[in-house]
Structure 1
Amino acid sequence: MSPEQGLSNSDVPWDSFDSDAYFESNYRWLLREDAEIIGIVADHFRRWAPRPGRAGAIDVGTGTNLYPALTMLPFAERVTLFERSLSNRAWLTNQLREPAESWEPFWAEMRGRPEYDRIAGPLDRLASCSQVVKGNLFDLAPRGYDIGTMFFVAEGITTRTEEFERAVRVFMASLTAGAPFAAAFMRDSWGYEVGCQRFPACPINEDDVQRCLAEVARIDAITVVDSRGLREGYSGMIVATGLVAG
């Protein structure tokens, strides 16, 4: 039995999450897998997002990852970075004030698309239009946002399948009918280490994602990104794009 088996979201000490360690391990450099996901999501939002600059956007469980919010930037009047962890909220506040240079290659993956090319200073723009908001995913109010992202959250906060499924449903319910969304998941993950702490995960695959979204979304695509070899304990990344069901 793994140490995290049977853990729910409420059992995890999120406020002591080592934000710096997680950033250094995952976002200090642009990985091939993230570059592939960025292209999928940027193309999806170009096709389906509301008129540029008018939408209310949310990124659920931002952690130390700014690129989901950046994919929504051309279409958003305001961006909510919704985060439970105290340490992650402090990290985000500091990062918006003084962003790391490593975000530039992430933005470069979005360039070449007119909506993104119109933004000269994406990190400055994100800082001016975003707000870091304390909140538990399961307390999200319904139908509050016009576009949304949730990356590596639903399957990475619990070992329980029913809680994973509820996280996906609550995220989808927080968006207005017809809203474009992008959600990413670690495939077959059995947990992960950040600094000296171990955190839970629910081992899911693309069929689980399809089943969760089938009743609440018009699915555009579910793509498995091969990331074997990046680290042990999972078998890839899954990115799902689509529109919220009306």
Structure 2
Amino acid sequence: MAGNLAYDWDAFDAQDYLAHNYADLHDEDRRILEIVREFLCAQAFDADAWGVDVGTGTNLYPALSMLPFCGRISLLEISKANRRWLTGQLRGYSGNWDGFWQVLAEHEAYRVIDRPRDRLSQAASVQRWDIFGSVPDRRWDLGTMFFVAESITTFRNEFTTALAKFCSLLKPGAPFVMTFMENSKGYEVGGRRFPAFGIDLVNLREEMWGLGNGMEFYRFGVGPEPLRDGYSGMILVHGYVK
């Protein structure tokens, strides 16, 4: 058992994590993208809406999902290695993300963006932020946090804090999407072991009840080609911050 501070997040191997998780579009990613796409396309956003993705790591598809709705997108990330990778990708993201964009572009709201690479480069910015630190003054209009809260600690109190800190970034009533690895036992990246808090759907509902309204939960079992050992599925929740 160890808390967040016990791990060297600046030494996170961004390329190794990318290769194992996002080099290809997995069935679970497709299903997540479809749900997020339909949820966001059902919302009404102001022209100057500002989105935030927390703990972006090497996952660009939360930011891509916000492109039609946000003039600006903040990517908040603690790891120096991940921030370096993100900065490079914002200059023109790699071809593996085209498949993710194609799923989003099955809806006309995304198809109107002819050059998503240019749009992401113009809209997104990378900022260092520790989820256990102070909350920025800015309150965002839309937020995503994918596979973060359960993947940064083994302690339930820190998991609970991460959920609350994410929600505190958003304006009351702002739509949000979060995803989780279910019952994760931790993971290895570039030969280093990183933590996890084992959350299931029942526990997550308990954790989230005071944070959001209109929440819908989805669970996906492990597919025929698991991303790694030591998890039992994925969970997605979307709703509106209280």
Conservation of the 8 A alpha-carbon contact between 2:148 and 2:180: yes
Conservation of the 8 A alpha-carbon contact between 1:64 and 1:88: yes
Conservation of the 8 A alpha-carbon contact between 2:10 and 2:81: yes
Q: CA deviation at 1:143?
A: 6.0
Question: Are residue 188 (structure 1) and residue 171 (structure 2) matched?
Answer: no
Q: Identify which of 24, 27, 30 aligns with 2:25.
A: 30
Q: CA deviation at 1:49?
A: 4.5
Q: CA deviation at 1:227?
A: 2.2
Q: Give distance in 1, aligned partners of 2:200 and 2:82.
A: 27
Secondary structure of 1:74's counterpart equals coil
Runs of 4+ with deviation above 3 angstroms: none
Conservation of the 8 A alpha-carbon contact between 1:7 and 1:158: yes
Q: Identify which of 220, 233, 237 aligns with 1:240.
A: 237
Aligned twin of 2:201: 206
Q: How many pairs does the alignment contain? A: 239
Secondary structure of 1:221's counterpart equals strand
> CA RMSD of the aligned region, Å?
1.2
Conservation of the 8 A alpha-carbon contact between 2:92 and 2:121: no
Q: Identify which of 54, 58, 67 aligns with 1:64.
A: 58
Conservation of the 8 A alpha-carbon contact between 1:49 and 1:147: no
State the identity as a percent: 41
Q: Give distance in 2, aligned partners of 1:219 and 1:142.
A: 26
Structure 1: segments with no counterpart, 5+ residues:
1-5
Aligned twin of 1:3: none
Q: Give distance in 1, aligned partners of 2:215 and 2:43.
A: 10
Q: CA deviation at 1:138?
A: 2.1
Q: Give distance in 1, aligned partners of 2:195 and 2:44.
A: 33
Conservation of the 8 A alpha-carbon contact between 2:131 and 2:166: yes
Residues 142 and 178 of structure 1: CA distance in aligned 2, closer, same or farther (over 3 Å): farther
Q: Give distance in 2, aligned partners of 1:67 and 1:221.
A: 20
Conservation of the 8 A alpha-carbon contact between 1:142 and 1:173: no
Question: Are residue 116 (structure 1) and residue 110 (structure 2) matched?
Answer: yes
Aligned twin of 1:136: 130
Q: 1:129-157 CA distances to partner (integer Å, 9 max, x unpaired)?
A: 11100110123336610000000000000
Give the letter for the 2:50 counterpart: G
Q: Which stretch of the first structure deviates more once superposed, 22-31 or 227-236?
A: 227-236
Q: CA deviation at 1:216?
A: 1.5
